[in-house]
């Protein structure tokens, strides 16, 4: 099966894990700190905070910024549910915003403006599929509305502009991301005071960690703020240090595969559209395609699976999921709903070759042609 996503793990990762085990120190320590510094350097930041997941990262950012009950946060519905969940974690209310269009499936600036209220305190921009929103326009909007600007950059590690939009950015290293630590995440916050609050809150609000107390030879610590258990461990940090060294190379492979997809879709599947212009800044996390309106997506999925090709959908709209539909019953986002009905995510990862891309497009063209032939007969 040609998978939608596949991590690259090998001898270097095994050696890195073995080294941690041999060291006898597996909780948060020197490797976590080294990983934080390396990740920050890659993004031109002073420092970063490594955490247990991107969800934890979003929660910590909102918590540290003081967002809570009575506040509203603008979020896209075209995202993984964790984006909205993190808002509920701090007691605030997520307000779902439509995408701009099927060609630009990022949060609509106009719809965001329309959904602002006196209770709106922040906006979470999601870099869907690795593609970044227009930074200057969103920064201007946030200044004008006096909103805190947060990035859900789960899809965009290694993209130079990720982490430069506003107060903070949350990154993911889950198993299907551009680089992986199995589970894990990181936060870039440019304000040192905000970053220190986040760093302390990730570990129960404690003033020192286990390794720090060992090195300083004193068991004393204090708890100064409400905190959580969102630490990254040494094993995941060791994986991250190995993966980070190849992230730019892997992102470039993703870029070349994406461009090849685009060329072939134009030539062989002209009824299919691909979001975003070729030059749009991206980390090329996903390869989303939009099927013709009348096409049965499930028939195409089944046809490709029969050829050994996995596909998936990014994403079922959050506001349509059972839990959120119960609390957002009158929410209607026509652009998001139409995009989600027709979107199909094709395989994209650095283990693939250009020949693999050609095989996927040949199979997609055959699936679409078979459907057209059946409709013609009918």
Examine residue 174 and say whether the peptide bond preceding it is cis (omega within 30 degrees of 0).
no
Residue 323 CA to residue 83 CA, distance in Å, equals 14
Residue 348 token pair: 């994209």
Own/partner contacts of 100-104, CB < 8 Å, gap of 24 or more, are 100/335, 101/335, 102/273, 102/275, 102/290, 102/335, 102/338, 102/339, 102/342, 103/273, 103/275, 103/276, 104/275, 104/276
- Could you identify the residue written with the tokens 């950012």? 61
Residue 240 CA to residue 45 CA, distance in Å, equals 17
| Catalytic residue of the set 14, 121, 137, 177 | 177
User: Residues in the chain, how many?
Assistant: 378
Residue 157 CA to residue 43 CA, distance in Å, equals 9
- Please say if 177 is a catalytic residue: yes
Maximum pairwise Cα distance, the chain: 81
Q: Is 170 helix (H, G, I), strand (E, B) or coil?
A: strand
How is 70-112 classified by DSSP, letter by letter? T-EEEEESSS-THHHHHHHHTT-EEEEE-BS-SSS-SB-HHHH
Residues 6+ apart with CB under 8 A from 234: 20, 23, 25, 26, 27, 28, 29, 30, 31, 32
List the end-to-end C-alpha distance of the chain, in Å, as a whole number.
32
Question: Which residues are known catalytic residues?
Answer: 177
């Amino acid at each position: 099966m040609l998978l939608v996503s596949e991590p690259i793990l090998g001898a270097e990762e095994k050696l890195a894990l073995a080294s941690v085990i041999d060291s006898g120190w597996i909780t948060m320590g020197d490797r976590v700190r080294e990983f934080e510094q390396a990740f920050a350097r890659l993004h031109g930041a002073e420092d970063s905070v490594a955490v247990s997941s991107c969800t934890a990262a979003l929660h910590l950012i909102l918590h540290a910024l003081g967002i809570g009950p009575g506040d509203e946060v603008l979020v896209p519905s075209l995202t993984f549910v964790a984006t909205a969940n993190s808002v509920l974690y701090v007691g605030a209310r997520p307000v779902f915003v439509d995408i701009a269009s099927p060609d630009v499936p990022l949060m609509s600036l106009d719809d965001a403006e329309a959904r602002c209220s006196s209770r709106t305190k922040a906006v979470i921009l999601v870099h869907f599929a690795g593609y970044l929103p227009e930074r200057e326009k969103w920064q201007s909007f946030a200044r004008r509305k006096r909103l805190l600007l947060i990035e859900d950059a789960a899809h965009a590690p290694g993209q130079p502009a990720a982490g430069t939009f506003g107060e903070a950015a949350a990154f993911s290293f889950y198993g299907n991301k551009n680089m992986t630590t199995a589970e894990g995440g990181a936060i870039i916050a440019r304000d040192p005071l905000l970053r220190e609050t986040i760093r302390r809150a990730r570990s129960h609000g404690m003033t020192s960690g286990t390794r720090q107390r060992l090195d300083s030879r004193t068991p004393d610590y204090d708890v100064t703020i409400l905190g959580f258990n969102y630490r990254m461990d040494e094993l995941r940090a060791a994986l991250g240090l190995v993966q980070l060294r190849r992230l730019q190379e892997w992102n470039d492979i993703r870029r070349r595969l994406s461009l090849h997809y685009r060329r072939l879709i134009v030539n062989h599947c002209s009824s299919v559209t691909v979001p975003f212009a070729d030059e749009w800044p991206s980390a090329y996390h996903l390869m989303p395609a939009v099927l013709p309106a009348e096409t049965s997506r499930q028939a195409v999925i089944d046809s490709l699976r029969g050829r050994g090709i996995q596909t998936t959908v990014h994403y079922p709209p959050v506001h349509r999921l059972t839990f959120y539909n119960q609390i957002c019953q009158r929410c209607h986002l026509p652009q998001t709903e139409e995009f989600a009905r027709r979107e199909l995510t094709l395989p994209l990862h650095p283990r693939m070759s250009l020949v693999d891309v050609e095989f996927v497009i040949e199979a997609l063209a055959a699936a679409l042609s078979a459907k057209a032939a059946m409709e013609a007969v009918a």
